[in-house]
Structure 1
Amino acid sequence: MFSPSQEEHCAPNKEPIKYGELVVLGYNGCLPNGDRGRRKSRFALYKRPKSNGVRASSVHVISTPQASKDPCTQEEGSRAGSCQACAISPSPEEEAISTRGQHSISYTLSRNQTVVVEYTHDKDTDMFQIGRSTESPIDFVVTDTISGNQNDESQITQSTISRFACRIVCDRNPPYTARIFAAGFDSSKNIFLGEKAAKWKNPDGHMDGLTTNGVLVMHPKGGFTEESKPGVWREISVCGDVYTLRETRSAQQRGKLVENETNVLQDGSLIDLCGATLLWRTADGLFHTPTQKHIEALRQEINAARPQCPVGLNTLAFPSINRKDVVEEKQPWAYLTCGHVHGYHNWGHRSDTEANERECPMCRTVGPYVPLWLGCEAGFYVDAGPPTHAFSPCGHVCSEKSAKYWSQIPLPHGTHAFHAACPFCATQLTGEESCVKLIFQGPID
């Protein structure tokens, strides 16, 4: 029997090993202006040809006269940008470490003392970095998600996502365990936590800290399956320890250490960067997830059944996936309180002030009346069931189990709020159930 490394050497043309994928919530298959380069709605992590992981090696305590320090205008994990918990300029000693080509994390304890932890190469791991920066150390560029699929970057006045937000480290050998850490190394191979950033020395002596707005993680109970339930949101430190949440995202006081939990990502783990939420899917989890082809087959199956508007008696059809944002003539619409599916009509308004409140002609129930859109991002489905349920108030359609799962997930919103949202467009869910079973009428003939 060959070892994994021997197998790779013997079969250089085989498929690269995939550790998993990150899928950004709020995008139904691609970014509004299209996926380009490192900016996309979905990012696959593959085993690198050569390892680039690092591990802590040595610690330096550096004392520097206050006069040599400049006022800070930097963000944690970067030497450019602006953030309220920024670092101060690196000292000559820190620069000397940087010029040696070593990765390092700098913890500024005071104006005249900094602890620098040097990192050395780790041949057994691959590192992937995520953040808002477009600099080369970032593998996956993530920007703020505007709810309701109206992701116009001009609406974002000041991002709350770190330029170097987090890093994921994957073992190069089976079972290819993936771990998440707050903050990423910048172009100088440094993570820089300033005076105002939350930081501390642990009982075993090693330094640790939190980024300004934090990196939150939630592991679902029961994996990412039909039976999954929401887990508890935690905060991940720079060194990968797990803590309860702070009072607000940027509070100075850290939460309590959760000793029985780890930073190992599971299939279905959610990662929140305070402005965007990412779903982690393992390679094995993706293997059991419906594909784009399966979702397309379900769309064609619904359309082949020739559902009709019960009033206009015209045949309805879900538009093709590549036209998923354009309302078409045959588009199905639904009353989200009762679930009755119709074609578009312009009657049933109950008031001039609530333009979207309509009375269903089938059951007289009053509620939102919206076009239905098929949920096309396969990574959000917990099963391969037919698209029978719609989220309220956006009208995105997916399987019953998937709709009910996401309706239970409290997603971080702002600095201290949580609410359920549609995974396909990030719209906050409303109504008692947050989703409704759709009632289609088949052809009369």
Structure 2
Amino acid sequence: MFSPSQEELCALNKEPVKYGELVVLGYNGSLPNGDRGRRKSRFALYKRPKANGVRPSTVHVISTPQASKECGGTLSGQKLGWLETQLWEEDFGMQEEAFLTQAISSKGQHSISFTLSRNQTVIVEYTHDKDTDMFQVGRSTESPIDFVVTDTISGSQNNDETQITQSTISRFACRIVCDRSPPYTARIFAAGFDSSKNIFLGEKAAKWKNPDGHMDGLTTNGVLVMHPKGGFTEESKPGVWREISVCGDVYTLRETRSAQQRGKLVENETNILQDGSLIDLCGATLLWRTADGLLHTPTQKHIEALRQEINAARPQCPVGLNTLAFPSINRKDVVEEKQPWAYLSCGHVHGYHNWGHRSDTEANERECPMCRTVGPYVPLWLGCEAGFYVDAGPPTHAFTPCGHVCSEKSAKYWSQIPLPHGTHAFHAACPFCATQLSGEHNCVKLIFQGPID
């Protein structure tokens, strides 16, 4: 029995409220060289000890010297007239914007700067919001970024040594704002605040004034979101990809990722994240899982139990008659002697053999000795990232052509989701390694042979 003092101590150390988790597609449980600090394959969002959310407050319109003179431009009640003689000689628009931004920053305020032209800038000042927590995602390793995300390279090239010549992920890509009170609603916004607590939308960025008067805009390559139909369950279906604005409105997609013309406002949709929502940052795609949704997701222990159950059934190679076994999760990238291999055109599972080639040019095209079907012949890997499973079913299906194995309904769900690729293409990809899927159905049912004895 605990003494009262111990009970009080346990209450003080209880786990904080979890809002949800972000899981990066293309990583099977961890980054190739391990998760480190803020750079990892998944990121949990917990209720902060103290709220750090912000909300828009004051709007400042900065114009040319003449307009400033006529309008009597002000900042927090102070005249800006002295700027006209000291700062307008070279580039008055940028100088005044810099001054105002610096003044806001010196007060510790967040702000968003919309540069409309060389002659006019609108700066929206943000104030503290005690009811929300803010989390920021981007490529930058600066302190405002809570979750550092880099470009995902599909398949076996996915390692830290792979050089990205020019990343398409924004340094301050997006922010997620969560209500601190139940039901802990999470909303996504394009762009994140930098180390100076500012968001800058330059002259070339897509931006506009809405009918109600508030400014809004899009980031260079955009933040796309897809909410699945029916949540993230066995019955889920893909939704429609949309673009999220800096202020959280929902728009149809632009013609290309960086086109200056925005899509159409979708008034009946919101930026509220649902369990299973996908967030694309043009170079990496994230899956949002709610805390409640994760409670109904298979755990690592469950996936390990499924692996042991398959191995305990002692599947055999129908030709060599040797027993096959999936390697342990901590050796999920090393091909082992007992590793199961499969012909992905038919699904027959074998042990490794070095025959059946149909040509010298297509090294991976083999003829299955069981049914004579010709197709890719690859090692099978268990899908270890539990967050990608829509159910807790046994691993019976493999994605083609990578050979990652998961439950039937999980495989069929991901097989029909068009994921953004480049600036305007979409294609289905394996969630465990980001390889573009192929074949008639993008996945295949595996045919194991049990022990003859």
What is the TM-score with the length of structure 1 in the denominator? Answer: 0.91
**How many correspondences in the alignment?**
430
Superposed CA deviations along residues 142-197 of structure 1, whole A, max 9, x for unmatched, are 00000114234533100000000000000000000000000000000000000000
CA gap 1:209/1:328 in 2 versus in 1, 3 angstroms: same
CA deviation after TM superposition for structure 1 residue 62, in Å: 1.2
Could you say which residue in structure 2 is the equivalent of 1:214? 222
Structure 1 pair 80/60, CA: closer, same or farther in 2 (3 Å)?
closer
CA distance 1:248–1:2, change in 2 (3 Å)? farther
Q: CA offsets per residue over residues 208-233 of structure 1, 9 Å max, x none?
A: 00000000000000000000000000
Report the secondary structure of 1:406's partner residue: helix
CA distance in structure 2 between the aligned counterparts of 1:289 and 1:444, rounded to whole angstroms = 35
C-alpha distance in structure 1 between counterparts of 2:115 and 2:34, whole Å: 41
Q: Which residues of structure 1 form unaligned runs of 5+? A: 82-94
Are residues 10 and 301 of structure 1, via their aligned partners in 2, closer, same or farther at CA, if it must alter by over 3 Å?
closer
- Cα gap change, 1:228/1:109 in structure 2, threshold over 3 Å: closer, same or farther? same
Match status 1:308 vs 2:316: yes
State the 1:15 CA deviation: 1.4
Name the CA shift for 1:75/1:229 in 2 (closer, same or farther; >3 Å). Answer: farther
Once the 2 structures are TM-superposed, how far is the Cα of residue 12 of structure 1 from its aligned partner?
A: 2.5
Paired residue secondary structure (2:239): coil
For residues 110-159 of structure 1, the C-alpha deviation after alignment (integer angstroms, 9 at most, x for no partner) is: 11211000000000000000000000000000000001142345331000
Cα distance in 1 between the residues matched to 2:233 and 2:210: 37
The structure having more radius of gyration, on CA atoms, is 2
* Cα distance change of structure 1 residues 264 and 15 upon mapping to structure 2, 3 Å threshold: same
Q: How far 1:303 moved relative to its partner?
A: 0.2
8 Å Cα contact 1:76-1:191 kept in structure 2: no
Deviation at 1:100, TM superposition (A): 1.2
The 1:75–1:280 alpha-carbon spacing in structure 2 relative to 1, beyond 3 Å, is farther
Q: Distance in 2 between matches of 1:63 and 1:207?
A: 16
Q: For structure 1, which segment, 395-404 or 96-105, has the greater mean C-alpha deviation from structure 2 after superposition?
A: 96-105
Q: Residues 344 and 143 from structure 1, CA distance in 2 versus in 1: closer, same or farther, beyond 3 angstroms? A: same
The answer to whether the Cα contact below 8 Å between 1:216 and 1:234 also exists between their aligned partners in 2 is yes
C-alpha distance in 1, partners of 2:198/2:388?
A: 34
Sort the Cα spacing of 1:184 and 1:366 in 2 relative to 1 into closer, same or farther, 3 A.
same
Q: Distance in 1 between matches of 2:92 and 2:229?
A: 39
CA 1:46–1:378 in structure 2 vs 1: closer, same or farther (change >3 Å)? same
Q: How does 1:334-413 map to 2 (within 5 A)?
A: 334-413=342-421
Partner of 1:12: 12
CA distance in 1, matches of 2:409, 2:26: 19
Distance 1:421 1:310 in 2: 30
User: Which residue of 120, 137, 150 corresponds with 2:144?
Assistant: 137
Report what 2:81 is aligned to: none
How far residue 253 of structure 1 moved from its aligned partner, in angstroms, is 0.1
Contact 2:64 2:92 in 1 (8 A): no
| Cα drift, residue 412 of structure 1 | 0.0
Distance 1:24 1:224, change over 3 A: same
> CA-atom RMSD, angstroms?
4.8
Q: Which moved more, 1:329-338 or 1:96-105?
A: 96-105
Structure 1 residues 7 and 43: alpha-carbon distance in aligned structure 2, compared to 1, 3 A threshold: farther
1:442/1:67 CA distance change after superposition, 3 Å: farther
Cα displacement (A) at 1:3: 25
Q: Deviations over 1:261-295 (max 9, x none)?
A: 00000000000000000000000000000000000
Residues 50 and 348 of structure 1, relative CA distance in 2, 3 Å threshold: same
User: Is residue 97 of structure 1 aligned with residue 104 of structure 2?
Assistant: yes
Which deviations, in whole Å up to 9, do the C-alpha atoms of 1:323-344 show, x marking residues without a partner? Answer: 0000000000000000000000
With over 3 angstroms needed to count, the CA separation of the structure-2 counterparts of 1:343 and 1:67, relative to structure 1, is farther
Change (3 A) 1:175 1:50: same
The CA deviation string for residues 295-317 of structure 1, in whole angstroms up to 9 with x for no partner, is 00000000000000000000000
**Unpaired segments ≥5 residues, structure 2:** 71-84, 94-101
Change beyond 3 A, Cα 1:373–1:261: same
| Change in 2 beyond 3 A, CA 1:245/1:397 | same
In 2: Cα distance, 1:372 partner to 1:116 partner: 54
2:65, 2:88 within 8 Å by CA — same for their partners in 1? Answer: no
Q: Distance in 1 between matches of 2:397 and 2:293?
A: 23
Deviation at 1:390, TM superposition (A): 0.2
Q: Distance in 2 between matches of 1:79 and 1:389?
A: 62
SS in 2 for 1:415: coil
CA 1:203–1:10 in structure 2 vs 1: closer, same or farther (change >3 Å)?
A: farther
In the aligned structure 2, how far is the partner of 1:363 from the partner of 1:78? 77
Structure-1 separation of matches of 2:389 and 2:380? 17
Who is 2:259 aligned against?
251
